[in-house]
């Protein structure tokens, strides 16, 4: 794992990391349906039944503050790493600091969820100082934990010759919507938050 030197948040992308996404649809025998795939697929492309966008990991080129590196965002969520520095984010009591520019999203069933990984205690003041969006508005919480809940994804449909045509961008698809996931290219992992408590 390579942590950043705090010049650029760990989860954000760099211009040299963009990877061509050559997509098509193929028949998936176990689900007996079409499934979005790469034209050069490998097993690591899928997780939770959804295809994930590819990104390089070299952290070179020009920083892109509005673009998330899919692999690092997902890694930060799964391993509870700080979205700013990439180091472990848990507090001594095991709880996680969640720093957000707005309040968590709320599902129809009342679940609170977010696409933002935790932040370590050291990086909270750095993020508040350097991020214009957080300077305008921010909310700080602690969470007992979280679980994978959904993906933010682009949706594709089969096009001529089996190639894929994008029909929707930045859609939230919960991980229990198996048929929809088969047509999605996931860009970010969203998690349902547990035991969320605000910090004044």
Q: How does pLDDT run across 156-186, given as a tens digit for each residue?
A: 999 888 789 999 999 999 999 999 999 999 9
What residue spans define the domains of the chain? 12-198
Q: How does pLDDT run across 111-120, given as a tens digit for each residue?
A: 999 999 999 9
Q: How does pLDDT run across 8-64, given as a tens digit for each residue?
A: 899 999 999 999 889 999 988 777 889 999 999 999 999 999 999 999 999 999 999
**DSSP conformational letter for 116:** P
Q: How does pLDDT run across 66-78, given as a tens digit for each residue?
A: 899 999 999 999 9
Q: What is the pLDDT of residue 100?
A: 95
Instruction: Please tell me the distance from the alpha carbon of residue 77 to that of residue 117, in angstroms, as a whole number.
Output: 5
Q: How does pLDDT run across 35-44, given as a tens digit for each residue?
A: 999 999 999 9
Write b or e for each residue in 118-153: b if 16 or more Cβ atoms lie within 10 A of its Cβ, otherwise e.
bbbeebbeebeebbeebeeeeeebbbeebebbbbbb
3-state secondary structure (DSSP) of residue 76: helix
Q: What is the pLDDT of residue 7?
A: 67
Instruction: Please tell me the distance from the alpha carbon of residue 6 to that of residue 62, in angstroms, as a whole number.
Output: 15
Mean of pLDDT over the chain: 92
């Amino acid at each position: 794992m390579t942590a950043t030197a705090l010049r650029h948040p760990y989860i954000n992308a760099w211009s040299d990391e963009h990877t061509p996404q050559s997509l098509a649809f193929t028949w998936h025998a176990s689900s007996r349906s079409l499934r979005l795939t790469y034209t050069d697929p490998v097993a690591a492309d899928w997780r939770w039944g959804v295809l994930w966008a590819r990104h390089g990991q070299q952290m070179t080129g020009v920083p892109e503050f509005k673009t998330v590196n899919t692999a690092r965002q997902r890694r930060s969520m799964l391993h509870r790493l700080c979205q700013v520095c990439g180091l472990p984010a848990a507090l001594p009591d095991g709880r996680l600091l969640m720093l957000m520019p707005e309040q968590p999203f709320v599902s129809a069933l009342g679940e609170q969820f977010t696409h933002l990984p935790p932040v370590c205690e050291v990086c909270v003041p750095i993020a508040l100082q350097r991020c214009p969006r957080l300077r305008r508005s921010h909310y700080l919480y602690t969470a007992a934990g979280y679980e994978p809940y959904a993906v933010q994804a682009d949706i594709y449909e089969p096009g001529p010759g089996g190639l894929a045509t994008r029909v929707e961008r930045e859609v939230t698809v919960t991980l229990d919507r198996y048929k929809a996931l088969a047509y999605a290219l996931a860009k970010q992992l969203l998690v349902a938050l547990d035991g969320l408590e605000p910090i004044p």
